[in-house]
């Protein structure tokens, strides 16, 4: 039977911080191996990142952290398995942001409430969304692309991997904000290779996807990055302008986070949060993640909860509108 627990509120999170200062609590957790249930299949971005952090957490906390994959239902299967587990700190969720952004907004009735039934621990990192074109096209930047699209309104088609995915939602938001006459073409979920084939074959003029998905073709020179949807330029790609430099205020980053069942002991949450903060500040880990197109960001449990709520506020209207359009 599904466990129904009250949400781990901010007062409890504050208590977690004070409890962590006690050596007795710090020594008590973890006392045995910890399972991390990943929302995506083996080899996917969240799985790879989760395994990096699992190794680091094992070294930091002296117990093995094992990643188990429960892909399906936009994270529903993994979230259910986590929520159904004992809230003792020994079953955690390695969740893609879509579990909090897309899943609750697309489905009217769910057996879980992600905001109530899961407690935040830490952000693994952010996955920037990239606007790119074939290097064969003489389009130097996003401003030039938008100008050409307005001049030739039937010319530009943008490919995305799936409908209702974060790249697709990013594309819809960009077109909505800029009013650019660009036609968005969502391919079947998992169809990144098909999108790339059609961009390189110039059947599509641009693609919006995560940096991790496009990095190989960018490195080979087949794709040119016009802009990246981060708050600031990336340290390892300083020549790439942000979308916000052309479209003020525009950001769009995928992300993944470490969560626990609501009601997990504050000492466990605090120990995990503190270890994650140390890991995300490690230069070697940051470089390794950057190579994968993931950029760690240190957030406390309360800051992570605020971040999730803000992301939901920003994206749920777009997700719901896209879902309603799909039903027509």
123 has pLDDT over 50:
yes
Q: How far apart are CA 65 and CA 26, in angstroms?
A: 17
* Judgement on whether residues 94 and 117 belong to the same structural domain of the protein: yes
The residues that bridge with 185 in the sheet, in sequence order, are 159
97 has pLDDT over 50:
yes
Give me the CATH number covering residue 221.
Answer: 3.40.190.10
4 domain-assigned: no
Report how many domains make up the chain.
Answer: 2
* Judgement on whether residues 79 and 167 belong to the same structural domain of the protein: no
**More confidently predicted of 89 and 5:** 89
Question: Domain of 268?
Answer: 10-126+253-327
Q: What is the pLDDT of residue 191?
A: 60
* Judgement on whether residues 122 and 257 belong to the same structural domain of the protein: yes
Please state, in angstroms and as integers, the Cα–Cα distance from residue 20 to each residue in 36, 272, 306, following that order: 21, 10, 21
Domain boundary, last residue among 245, 278, 298: 245
pLDDT band at 27 (very low <50, low <70, confident <90, very high): low
46 domain-assigned: yes
What secondary structure letter does DSSP report for 75?
G
Per the listing, tokens 């990144």 go with 192
* Judgement on whether residues 163 and 180 belong to the same structural domain of the protein: yes
Which of 6-10, 84-88, 204-208 shows the lowest mean pLDDT across its residues?
Answer: 6-10
- Helix, strand, or coil here: 69? strand
Residues 103-119 have pLDDT tens digits of: 999 887 899 999 999 99
Q: What is the pLDDT of residue 165?
A: 87
Q: What is the mean pLDDT of residues 90-109?
A: 93
pTM here is 0.85
* Judgement on whether residues 222 and 277 belong to the same structural domain of the protein: no
Domain boundary, last residue among 245, 264, 295: 245
């Amino acid at each position: 039977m599904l466990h129904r627990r009250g949400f781990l509120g901010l007062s409890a999170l504050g208590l977690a911080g004070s409890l962590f200062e006690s050596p007795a609590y710090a020594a008590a957790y973890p006392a045995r191996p910890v399972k991390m249930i990943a929302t995506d299949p083996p080899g996917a971005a969240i799985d790879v990142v989760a395994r990096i952090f699992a190794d680091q957490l094992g070294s930091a906390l002296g117990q093995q952290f094992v990643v188990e994959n429960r892909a399906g239902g936009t994270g529903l299967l993994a979230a259910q398995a986590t929520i159904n587990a004992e809230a003792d700190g020994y079953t955690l969720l390695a969740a893609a942001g879509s579990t909090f952004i897309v899943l609750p907004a697309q489905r009217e009735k769910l057996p879980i409430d992600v905001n109530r039934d899961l407690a935040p621990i830490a952000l693994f990192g952010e996955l920037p969304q990239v606007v790119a074109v074939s290097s064969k096209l003489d389009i130097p930047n996003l401003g030039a692309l938008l100008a050409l699209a307005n001049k030739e309104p039937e010319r530009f088609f943008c490919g995305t991997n799936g409908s209702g995915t974060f790249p697709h939602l990013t594309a819809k938001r960009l077109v909505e904000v800029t009013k650019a006459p660009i036609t968005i073409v969502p391919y079947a979920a998992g169809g990144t290779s098909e999108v790339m084939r059609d961009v390189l074959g110039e059947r599509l003029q641009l693609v919006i996807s995560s940096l991790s998905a496009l990095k190989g073709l960018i490195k080979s020179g087949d794709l040119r990055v016009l802009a990246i949807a981060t708050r600031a330029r990336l340290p390892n790609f300083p020549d790439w302008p942000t979308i916000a430099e052309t479209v003020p205020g525009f950001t769009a980053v995928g992300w993944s986070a470490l969560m626990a069942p609501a009601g997990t002991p504050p000492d466990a949450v605090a120990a995990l949060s503190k270890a994650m903060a140390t890991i995300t500040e490690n230069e070697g880990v940051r470089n390794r993640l950057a190579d994968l197109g993931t950029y760690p960001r240190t957030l406390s449990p309360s800051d992570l909860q605020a971040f999730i709520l803000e992301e939901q506020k920003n994206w749920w209207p777009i997700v719901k509108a896209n879902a309603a359009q799909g039903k027509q």
